[in-house]
């Protein structure tokens, strides 16, 4: 998959997951959060009003620190594809 194709597939996966109604499992949301942040180079600190949620988000970001942006996009796409496949 070329870089352009990967970007298109990633944007499509983001749109698909955003158009689904919840509720979503918490662990799934944390993985999506971390891979999305890594894929988009968004390194802002988590900003939840609840410290425990910030801690979980920070931990999720820490777990993806050693992967590339492209790998984060691929994993994000796979997570969305699998979730949509088994959600039906």
Unique residue bearing structure tokens 């801690």: 55
Rounded CA gap, 49 and 81, in Å? 31
Which domain CATH number covers 66?
1.20.80.10
How many domains does the chain divide into? 1
Which two structure tokens, joined as six digits, stand for 76?
């994000």
Token pair of 45 as six digits:
């600190």
For 32-55, what is each residue's pLDDT tens digit? 999 999 999 987 778 788 889 889
pLDDT band at 17 (very low <50, low <70, confident <90, very high): very high
Tallying the residues shown for the chain, one arrives at 88
8 Å CB contact between 32 and 79: yes
Q: What is the pTM of this model?
A: 0.90
Range of the domain at 83: 3-87
């Amino acid at each position: 998959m070329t870089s352009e194709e990967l970007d298109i597939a990633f944007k499509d996966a983001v749109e698909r997951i955003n158009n689904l109604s919840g509720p979503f499992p918490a662990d799934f949301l944390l993985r999506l959060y971390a891979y999305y942040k890594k894929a988009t180079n968004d390194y802002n600190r988590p900003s939840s009003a609840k410290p425990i949620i910030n801690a979980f988000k920070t931990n999720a970001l820490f777990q993806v620190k050693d992967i590339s942006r492209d790998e984060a996009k691929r994993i994000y796409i796979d997570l969305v594809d699998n979730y949509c496949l088994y959600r039906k």
